[in-house]
Amino acid sequence: MPDDIELCNTADYILSIVPPRDALATAQRIVIASSNPSFKKRNRPLYFLDLNAISPRLARETNDLFNESSPDVRLIDGGIIGPPPKLKGDGTWFRPSVPVSGPHKLADAQPSGKHLAEVLNMKHINDTVGSATGLKMCFAALSKGFTALAIQSLTAAHNLGCMPELKEHLEQFNPGAAKSIETVTRMPPKAYRWVKEMEEIAETFEADGGYEERESIFRPIARVYELVADGSDLGKEKTEERKRGKTIEDVALLMSEGTARRKQKTD
């Protein structure tokens, strides 16, 4: 597409899947384009599916933005839970879950909204904007929050020379955690995106969970991922070109080296 206006004039559905820090700016681009005099009068509304890892409050603000400035665009609040689609050995596809919410149902949209919802494995959970993004935030808190705890624990164990013993005791007394710490090896290429996502989780728990900012643990967790992305060699990793951090021992080593370099700069 040559520009956003042409996109809005020709598309029936726009899926926004960007790093969380770019979610609002992406929605604003569509608002600007659909408010332009060159935006053609539509026989049916344009659907904007916001599937980004953002807080419910930001989802509500985005919805208000469209309602006030772009009445011909209908927002569907959503999130993606699970790894990317993958072809399985039996020829079928694994698909992540895509919960959605809000007053507009994709299955009712034309053309082929029901088919699109089925292909994307979407489930409309209720009519409240923010519920689907909230579900994503609560799920990510338990998964990526644990990964941040594992990063710190493994780094400290490396520095203390007790990594094998930590693994041994986890396997004996907490086998679930022993398996879950392996998630740190999948984290490095994504850490830069998770910085803002952790801040959005913090916003979720403060605005909708009833917790005060001083009680919210996810702002410090955002700093952990910031350190991974900007203060260690793990931040150089690309998903399709993995070289380092493919074992928990190497993740701990590189994090230890990163924190040591930071300390040298401040001494």
Inform me whether the pLDDT recorded for 114 exceeds 90: yes
CB 48 within 8 A of CB 66: yes
Question: H helices within the chain, ranges in order?
Answer: 4-10, 23-34, 56-69, 113-119, 131-160, 163-173, 175-180, 191-207, 218-231, 248-266
CATH of domain 134-266: 1.10.1040
- Residue extents of the structural domains in the chain: 4-129, 134-266
The pLDDT-based confidence of 1 (bands split at 50, 70, 90) is low
CB 51 within 8 A of CB 98: yes
- DSSP for 19-63 reads -GGGHHHHHHHHHHHHTSTTSPP-SSPEEEEE-SS--HHHHHHHH
Q: How do residues 122-157 score in pLDDT, each as one tens digit? A: 999 999 999 999 999 999 999 999 999 999 999 999
Inform me whether the pLDDT recorded for 267 exceeds 90: no
Q: How do residues 19-65 score in pLDDT, each as one tens digit? A: 999 999 999 999 999 999 999 988 999 999 999 999 999 999 999 99
Could you count the other beta carbons within 10 Å of the beta carbon of residue 209? 17
Record the tokens describing residue 86, joined without a space. Answer: 């993958």
Residues 6+ apart with CB under 8 A from 220: none
CATH of domain 4-129: 3.40.50.720
Distance CA 218, CA 205 (A): 9
Residue 11: name the closest of 130, 109, 96 by CA: 109
Average pLDDT, the chain: 96
Q: How do residues 163-218 score in pLDDT, each as one tens digit? A: 999 999 999 999 999 999 999 999 999 999 999 999 999 999 999 999 998 998 99
Give the pLDDT confidence score for residue 265 in this predicted structure. 84
Distance CA 95, CA 112 (A): 19
Record the tokens describing residue 62, joined without a space. Answer: 């985005």
Give the pLDDT confidence score for residue 32 in this predicted structure. 96
CB 140 within 8 A of CB 190: no
Inform me whether the pLDDT recorded for 2 exceeds 90: no
Give the pLDDT confidence score for residue 75 in this predicted structure. 97
